């Protein structure tokens, strides 16, 4: 069953008439992970923001985006806000952009969770503290009393992932979620996403330039270049038998960047089993 279906998505800048996404179509199956790979500027992040309807007002889009058969393009902004977070949760590449700079992190977390749950403040604090510790954030109560500018980009990203763990959404859109993290933290975060998918049957749309991470987490892969999907297939097929020259280039030049990550993953598995 397809949880998300994107049909003929076109995205353009209405001021410049520049086309950013060209007639893109793909499906995200239930309890699966679909990765989108490609170089910077290929349209990966714009695709993610289009699904969430979070592009700037000057960026327009057409086509159909179906979540459980419901067309998200037809929803009001209020209806769409109710979907964001609980049903479709986005983990951004830049953690600083995800939080209100005028209030401490805990206020943002409580406001978000109170919109989607019936938990009281104590329950929210307890659940967030547990999730934050699971993504390697020590002293979570202390962190929740800090402002975003007092935390590193990597810490803010891990807070977003912890929030997703608590919300248990149907779909997690992870846009370069490990970019600001060190290799050990990448291992922990990827493992948490895998466990979340297994525990609550979440599906993941995973954007990354690190093919080592993609190889570990994704079932299927889309390759994007200049706003177009140029190749698609299972992860095994894309890595072992790419058909397009651009995909061959990506695999040959980028896979080496994931070798260290793979070694850490294998080392982590050995440590976990000992």
Which candidate, 79, 84, 86, places its Cα nearest to that of 168?
Answer: 86
- The whole-angstrom separation of Cα 140 and Cα 181 is 18
CATH T-level assignment (fold) for domain 2-273: Rossmann fold (3.40.50)
Would the CA dihedral through 143, 144, 146, 150 be positive or negative? positive
Task: Give the position of tokens 């030049």.
Answer: 253
Residue 117 neighbours by CB under 8 Å, 6+ apart: 124
pLDDT of residue 13: 95
Quote the pLDDT of residue 125: 95
pLDDT by residue for the chain (274 residues), tens only, comes to 899 999 999 999 999 999 999 999 999 999 899 999 998 889 999 999 999 999 999 999 999 999 999 999 999 999 999 899 889 998 877 777 788 899 999 999 999 999 888 999 999 999 999 989 988 899 999 999 999 999 987 788 889 888 988 998 999 999 888 776 677 777 777 887 887 788 778 899 999 888 888 988 999 999 999 999 999 999 999 999 999 999 998 888 765 555 555 666 666 655 555 4
* pTM (2 d.p.): 0.85
Count CA within 13 A, CB hemisphere, residue 246: 14
Eight-state DSSP code of residue 166: H
Distance of CA 211 to the CA centre of its chain: 15
CA distances from 132 to 81, 137, 232, 271 (A): 24, 5, 35, 22
Burial class (CB in 10 A: 0-12, 13-18, 19+), 274: exposed
Predicted pLDDT at 69: 93
pLDDT at 246: 93
CB atoms under 10 Å from CB of 101, counted, come to 9
pLDDT at residue 262, rounded to an integer: 62
Q: Which long-range contacts (CB under 8 A, 24 or more apart) does 139-145 make?
A: 143/105, 144/104, 144/105, 144/106, 144/109, 145/104, 145/105, 145/106
Residue 256 has a pLDDT of 57
Q: Which helix (H) or strand (E) holds 274?
A: none
pLDDT at 119: 94
Domain boundaries, the chain: 2-273
**In this structure, are strands 203-207 and 33-37 parallel, antiparallel, or unpaired?**
parallel
pLDDT for res 23: 95
């Amino acid at each position: 069953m397809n949880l998300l279906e994107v049909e003929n998505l076109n995205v353009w800048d209405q001021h410049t008439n520049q086309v950013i996404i060209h007639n893109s179509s793909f499906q995200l199956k239930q309890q699966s992970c679909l990765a989108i790979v490609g170089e910077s500027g290929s349209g990966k992040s714009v695709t993610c923001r289009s699904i969430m309807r979070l592009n700037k007002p000057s960026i327009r889009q057409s086509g159909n985006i179906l979540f459980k058969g419901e067309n998200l393009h037809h929803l009001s902004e209020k209806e769409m806000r109710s979907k964001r977070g609980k049903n479709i949760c986005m983990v951004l590449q830049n953690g600083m952009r995800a939080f209100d700079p005028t209030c401490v992190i805990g206020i943002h977390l409580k406001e978000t969770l109170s919109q989607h749950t019936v938990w009281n403040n104590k329950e929210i604090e307890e659940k967030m503290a547990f999730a934050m510790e699971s993504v390697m954030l020590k002293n979570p109560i202390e962190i929740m009393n800090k402002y975003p500018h007092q935390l590193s980009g990597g810490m803010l990203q891990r807070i977003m992932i912890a929030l997703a763990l608590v919300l248990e959404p149907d779909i997690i859109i992870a846009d370069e979620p490990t970019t600001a993290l060190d290799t050990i933290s990448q291992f922990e975060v990827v493992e948490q996403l895998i466990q979340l998918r297994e525990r609550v049957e979440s599906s993941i749309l995973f954007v990354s330039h690190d093919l080592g991470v993609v190889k570990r987490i994704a079932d299927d892969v889309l390759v994007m270049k200049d706003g177009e999907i140029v190749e698609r297939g299972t992860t095994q097929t894309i890595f072992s038998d790419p058909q397009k020259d651009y995909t061959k280039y990506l695999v040959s030049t980028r896979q080496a960047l994931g070798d260290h990550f793979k070694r850490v993953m294998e080392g982590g598995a050995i440590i976990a089993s000992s």
